[in-house]
Each structure stands twice: as structure tokens, then as C-alpha cells.
């Protein structure tokens, strides 16, 4: 399959920084040790979230690509191209909407079908791990992908009064730029033609996009709290035959609180990966 560019040669560290620029939604069930938290970084950047399967995923490494075989490599290339195209369509639609309307109100409604399709399509990244064509943790990938699904389906889709919030635009823009950069990086890496700008963007855009995306997600969840508390949506009250209770309002509060310990770990991990890939620094991470 030939040699990859310098980014791929960086080994698993390059893919472990996959969420760089891809701000992930951090659910309370996410691992919290520095190494586990670091693997979740995607967004990237992750990521962030991120989304999709970033941590430890090293499918652009030459040795592992040779083991993938032609069909697996062809499928991953098609998948990455499709995802790049999908997020490009989202970006173009958002720009056109704002130029024509001059406001963000109604933006989410105009792109929601495309967003839901491509973000849900990312569930295939879990399948990639299960069948072994992407060598990364199924659990970590599952958390990354499900966190984005959570934000799209259980927050923005389900709570319509918040769809016109400015915070929704924040995370949509961060996600879109991140995913275009991320999937472009994967595509060009698999094709053995990685432009330096794509590599540079992958390891620099997250510096701004990750905080912007996280801020957008937190503000959107915060805006949803009054509606969730008033309606009791997705909550299970006692008494019931299963003798189980669940309060979605408090679940969202816990989710927001989980950003406090996880955000710094993920962000500084991505900064270390950036130095490693772009500047060749040797980074030694210690387990607790």
C-alpha cells in the first residue's frame, strides 16, 4: 500500500489525537483516568468527541493498513470520502442559509435531516471496531459515537424550543469544521497523498474549535434544563411496577458537571499530541 506521510508514521499517537478539533460530548459514564480520558480525545478532537472512533485508532499506519486487505481499505476510503462529503454539504447549507436569511433562526431545521443522517451513520465506526478493520477499543468508540448521538437526538432533536439557541450554532460550526478536517485527513492518508495543510489543520484547528464546541454543548444543555424540568421528559417516576426511578433533569446536570474534570485532561492531551506530530517531540505519558 506504500508509505504514509509523516502524520501516519507518528503511529498510534496520531490517531489517538483523533478528536483534536472535534469536541466530544462528555457523558458521565466516560472513563476518567488520564489515559482513558486521553483516548477519548473527540471530538479530535477530538473530539470530541468522535466524532467518532479516534482513540487508539491507527488505520493509517502502513503496517496495519497492509493487514487490512484491499476490501477493508477500499471500504474505509469510501466511508471517509462519504463522511467528508456529508459534512461539506452541511457546511455549504449553513453558509447559504445565513447568507439568504441573515439570521441563525431556522438554521437547525434546515440542516437537521442531513445532520442526523451523517451523525447516526457514524455508528458504523463501532462496527469497524467490532469486526477488526479499525484497531481501537469498542467501548471507547461506543462512548464517543453515542455522546454525539445523545447531543443530536436526545437534546437538540427532542427539545424543539432550544433549536434556535445561539449555542446550537456554536457546536454545529465546531463539529462541521472538525469533521471535514478529520475525515479529509483519513481519506488522504489512506490514499497516500496527505497535504501538509490538512495535517496542519487537524492538529491546530482544535485549539479553538474544541473549547467552542464544548461551550456550545454546555450552553445548549443548560438551555434545555427548564423545559426538561417542567415536562419531566424521559424521566421515570415512582411508584411503578419495576420500582425504578430516573430523572433526566439530574442526569443532564451530572453530564454538565462531568465536563469539569474531563475537559482539561482531554485538551492538554491533544496539545501534547500536537507537539508530538507537528514538532517531533517525544511525549511520555504516565499512568496513575
Mean pLDDT of all residues in 96-124:
97
**Is 248 part of the annotated catalytic residue set?**
no
Check residue 262 and give its pLDDT: 86
pLDDT in the model for residue 134 = 86
Average pLDDT, the chain: 81
Give tens-digit pLDDT for 226-248: 999 999 999 999 999 999 999 99
Listing DSSP states for 54-111 in one string gives -TT--TTSHHHHHHHHHHHHHHHHHHHHHHHHHHHHHHHHHHHHHHHHSSSTTHHHHH
227 has catalytic annotation: no
Q: Give rounded-to-5 percent helix, strand, coil for the chain.
A: 65, 0, 35
Catalytic residue among 79, 186, 203, 210: 210
Cell 472538525 sits on residue: 178
Q: What is the pLDDT of residue 280?
A: 77
Q: Is the full-model pTM beyond 0.85?
A: no
Tell me: the pLDDT tens digits for 15-65? 434 444 444 445 543 333 333 333 333 334 443 333 333 433 445 444 555
Q: Which of 165, 217, 248, 249 is catalytic?
A: 217
Q: Is the pLDDT of residue 2 over 50?
A: no
Annotated domain spans of the chain: 68-277
Tens-place pLDDT, residues 182-219: 999 999 999 999 999 999 999 999 999 999 999 999 99
Instruction: Give the C-alpha separation, 102 to 125, whole Å.
Output: 36
Amino acid at each position: 500500500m506504500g508509505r504514509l506521510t509523516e502524520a501516519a508514521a507518528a503511529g498510534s499517537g496520531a490517531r489517538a489525537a483523533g478528536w483534536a478539533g472535534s469536541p466530544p460530548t462528555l457523558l458521565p459514564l466516560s472513563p476518567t483516568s488520564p489515559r482513558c480520558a486521553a483516548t477519548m480525545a473527540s471530538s479530535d478532537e477530538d473530539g470530541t468527541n468522535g466524532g467518532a472512533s479516534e482513540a487508539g485508532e491507527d488505520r493509517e499506519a502502513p503496517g496495519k493498513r497492509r493487514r487490512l486487505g484491499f476490501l477493508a481499505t477500499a471500504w474505509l476510503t469510501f466511508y471517509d470520502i462519504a463522511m467528508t462529503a456529508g459534512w461539506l454539504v452541511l457546511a455549504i447549507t449553513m453558509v447559504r442559509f445565513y447568507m439568504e436569511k441573515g439570521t441563525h433562526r431556522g438554521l437547525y431545521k434546515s440542516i437537521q435531516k442531513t445532520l442526523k443522517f451523517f451523525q447516526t451513520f457514524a455508528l458504523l465506526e463501532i462496527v469497524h471496531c467490532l469486526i477488526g478493520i479499525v484497531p481501537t477499543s469498542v467501548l471507547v468508540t461506543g462512548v464517543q459515537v453515542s455522546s454525539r448521538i445523545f447531543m443530536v437526538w436526545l437534546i437538540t432533536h427532542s427539545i424543539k424550543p432550544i433549536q434556535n439557541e445561539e449555542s446550537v450554532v456554536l457546536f454545529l460550526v465546531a463539529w462541521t469544521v472538525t469533521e471535514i478536517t478529520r475525515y479529509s485527513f483519513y481519506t488522504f492518508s489512506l490514499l497516500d497523498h496527505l497535504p501538509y495543510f490538512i495535517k496542519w489543520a487537524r492538529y491546530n484547528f482544535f485549539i479553538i474549535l474544541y473549547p467552542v464546541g464544548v461551550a456550545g454543548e454546555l450552553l445548549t444543555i443548560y438551555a434545555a434544563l427548564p423545559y426538561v424540568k417542567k415536562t419531566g421528559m424521559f424521566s421515570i417516576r415512582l411508584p411503578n411496577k419495576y420500582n425504578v426511578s430516573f430523572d433526566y433533569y439530574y442526569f443532564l446536570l451530572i453530564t454538565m458537571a462531568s465536563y469539569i474534570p474531563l475537559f482539561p485532561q482531554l485538551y492538554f492531551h491533544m496539545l501534547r499530541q500536537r507537539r508530538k506530530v507537528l514538532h517531533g517531540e517525544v511525549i511520555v505519558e504516565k499512568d496513575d
